[in-house]
Amino acid sequence: MHMRRAERLFELQKVDLALNAARQRVREIDALLTESEALRSVRKSDRELHDRLTQLQARSKDLELQSTTLDNKIKSVDDRLYSGAVKNPKELSDLQMDAASLRRQKSTLDDKLLEVILDVEQTEQDYQAAHVELARVEEDWRNGQSALADEHAGLTAQIAAFETERTSRRENIASSDLIVYDQLSKKKHGQVMGLLKEGVCGACGVQPSVNKLTHLQRDDELIACGNCERILLDQS
């Protein structure tokens, strides 16, 4: 069956629209085939908690070392104070003051150490929870990546087939018609054709003139809609 000029362009438009949609989806998938915002956020939280925990653990060890040092100093002062070797009242008084001062420092230090220890415990819990969440999000992401990769491969094959079909269809269309088609395609975002529906242009809803409709039914010409300029096609 002989295909009219407008019908050839309509079939080309269907291929072009499908090709453009496939290419757009491939671009979207390419953008998605990277770490998601959710994964980056959870990974950042996990890393920040790890760093905080490392700092707190180092702080805890430093305070424990300072506490041990103070314990040794207190023991040294107490040993001298209660050894009976110091007889001078002023020296004894100074030793008592030193002992009291060291114990105050030790008390303050122990309070800080307890606070840090509690902070370490809480941060360890938070870090463990964040690590579990990271593993879950990573698994979801990997599963999604696999599905996207499969879709990408399928679309790539479709695009190759569409491109082959597009070339074949363009070879069977007059160059003058292709010029009109390509110009309209750029202007109308790929929607070149206006399919007649109950006597009106399906693209813009305006009824063509009787003269245009007569030519459309009688002649194998490219008839443009007087309103939207798309090529009219009567499929009835």
What does the pLDDT look like over 75-88, one tens digit per residue? Answer: 999 988 888 887 88
User: Worst-scoring range by mean pLDDT, 29-38, 120-129, 219-228?
Assistant: 29-38
Domains, in order of start, for the chain: 5-26+174-233 (no CATH), 33-171 (1.10.287)
Q: Per-residue pLDDT for 93 more than 60?
A: yes
Q: Per-residue pLDDT for 107 more than 90?
A: yes
What is the reported pTM?
Answer: 0.60
**Backbone dihedral region for residue 88 (phi beyond 0: left; psi -120 to 50: alpha; all else: beta):** beta
Burial 203-222 (b: 16+ CB within 10 A, else e): beeeebeeebbeebeeeeeb
Distance CA 230, CA 232 (A): 6
Q: Compare 3 and 103 and report the one with higher pLDDT.
A: 103
pLDDT, tens digit (0-9, with 9 covering 90-100), for 180-215: 999 999 999 999 999 999 889 999 999 999 999 888
Distance CA 180, CA 173 (A): 11
pLDDT band for position 1 (cuts 50, 70, 90): low
